Amino acid sequence: MKLISIVGARPQIIKAAALSRIIRQKYSNVITEIIVHTGQHYDENMSKVFFKELEIPLPKYNLNIGSAIHGKQTARMILGLEEVLMKEKPDYVVLFGDTNSTLAGAISASKLQVSIVHVEAGLRSYNKKMPEEINRILCDHVSTFLFAPNKKAVTNLEKEGFDTSHRSNFSIDQPGIFNVGDIMFDNFLYYSQMPFNSIQCKKKLQNEYILATIHRDHNTDNAENLRNIFKALLYIANQFSIDIKIPLHPRTMKCMSENLPQALLRKIDNSIYIQKLPPVSFMEMIELEKNAKLIITDSGGVQKEAYFFNKPCIILRKETEWTEILETGMALLCGADYRKIVDAYGVYDEINTRNFPKIFGDGNTAELICDILIKNKKKEKLVNHN
């Protein structure tokens, strides 16, 4: 059975690591995986570092598409992917999450009638102004296997008219929907137990600190939102004398210099508490998450990792796809609202009761996905044979 996994952006490379690892460990006699990188993310610390550190096989194809406005970027990816798919003729195309690389993969594969496997299907923010919401809806609706990370995602698909009861003869018209848990939880369990020997990182982590990441276009490209977020971070850091470590996405780095007033930029640079970092590797990131007092983020993945590590999370968004986390009370939606962010810090600084029930599956998502695909292929062969 031949799979093509399409990756492009940082979180997809990280998610693909879990699937590739299990294919290598358990299914190498049945599954051949080819990785295709669209090149959406291309800086060493946004792409290559993860292949090396997480031991992901190097992509057989890198389309080197790079950055561009949505339509241009997606169109270029489709052109490249179409050629690869026609040449390789895979049984399945595996798509992760909701980036433009996911959308390009969905369009290319569905038009060539290659069955799509969507990992992280059914997530919805119900905010169609988010490019990711458009990408995930479109991808789900042309997929044959929709692997949902939780019950809520299955319910979201039911609301859109998907029949979740199909258990055989899957096709784009009769897709299979499976609640298999969250593939990022597989990675969390695997990598958080590995020894991490960066003395430099350990030294950096001696003081109590908050970890923050910001990269959503709604926060970076909107000057008012970016200003409110950084003003709130600066206030919390100075008022509570607590370090804030911020690994900066390249988009944010660029937007800070374009969208923040000089005076605020100077205050950030002069603060002894604010530590701007370049994007860090995954092992460094989970070390930073593990030891943080609290996490402030607009990232989907980092929200969940905060939860995996039992850390309260201030979410810099007005809505989230991961509503189960909100229901536990261990995360608060604050958008880019200065007052809400500062108040949320006060709430989590005070409370001692922490409640993180297990809601992301058993950490065997990649294995469940492979088992379902293999079983399906066997059935297809039997039907064709008869």
Q: How far is the CB of 75 from ligand UD1 (least distance, A)?
A: 14
- Residue 15 interacts with ligand UD1 (CB under 6 A): yes or no: no
Q: Which of residues 232-261 bind ligand UDP (CB under 6 A)?
A: 247
- Residue 291 interacts with ligand UDP (CB under 6 A): yes or no: no
What tokens appear for 147 in the block? 């692997």
Q: Which region among 116-124, 232-240, 280-288, 337-345 touches ligand UDP (by CB under 6 A)?
A: 280-288
- What's at 16, amino acid-wise? A
Active-site residue, from 37, 41, 118, 215 = 215
The answer to whether the beta carbons of residues 132 and 162 sit under 8 Å apart is no
Q: How far is the CB of 353 from ligand UD1 (least distance, A)?
A: 31
- Residue 335 interacts with ligand UDP (CB under 6 A): yes or no: no
State which residue, 77 or 93, has the beta carbon closest to ligand UD1: 77
Q: How far is the CB of 46 from ligand UD1 (least distance, A)?
A: 4
Q: Which region among 7-15, 69-77, 346-354, 361-369 touches ligand UDP (by CB under 6 A)?
A: 7-15
- Residue 8 interacts with ligand UDP (CB under 6 A): yes or no: no
Q: Which of 4, 5, 6, 10 binds ligand UD1 (CB under 6 A)?
A: 10
- Residue 295 interacts with ligand UDP (CB under 6 A): yes or no: no
Q: Strand pairing partners for 297?
A: 213, 315
- Rounded to whole angstroms, the Cα distance separating 154 from 123 reads 8
Alpha-carbon Rg for the chain, nearest whole angstrom, is 21
- Residue 185 interacts with ligand UDP (CB under 6 A): yes or no: no
The one of ligand UD1, ligand UDP, none whose footprint includes residue 131, by CB under 5 to 8 A per kind, is: ligand UD1
Residue 71, CA distances (Å) to 5, 25, 42, 82, 102 in order: 22, 38, 19, 16, 13
Which runs of consecutive H residues, i.e. helices, occur in the chain?
10-26, 48-53, 70-88, 100-111, 131-140, 151-159, 183-192, 199-204, 217-220, 223-240, 250-259, 262-270, 282-291, 300-308, 323-327, 338-350, 365-385
- Residue 331 interacts with ligand UDP (CB under 6 A): yes or no: no
Residue 46, CA distances (Å) to 186, 208, 214, 279, 322 in order: 21, 27, 15, 7, 24
The one of ligand UDP, ligand UD1, none whose footprint includes residue 254, by CB under 5 to 8 A per kind, is: ligand UD1
Residue 215: active-site member: yes
Q: Which of residues 106-165 bind ligand UD1 (CB under 6 A)?
A: 131-132
Residue 59, CA distances (Å) to 7, 8, 37, 114, 115 in order: 9, 11, 6, 20, 20
Task: Give the residues lining the site for ligand UD1 (CB under 6 A).
Answer: 9-11, 40-43, 46, 67, 98-100, 131-132, 215, 249-251, 254
Active site residues: 215
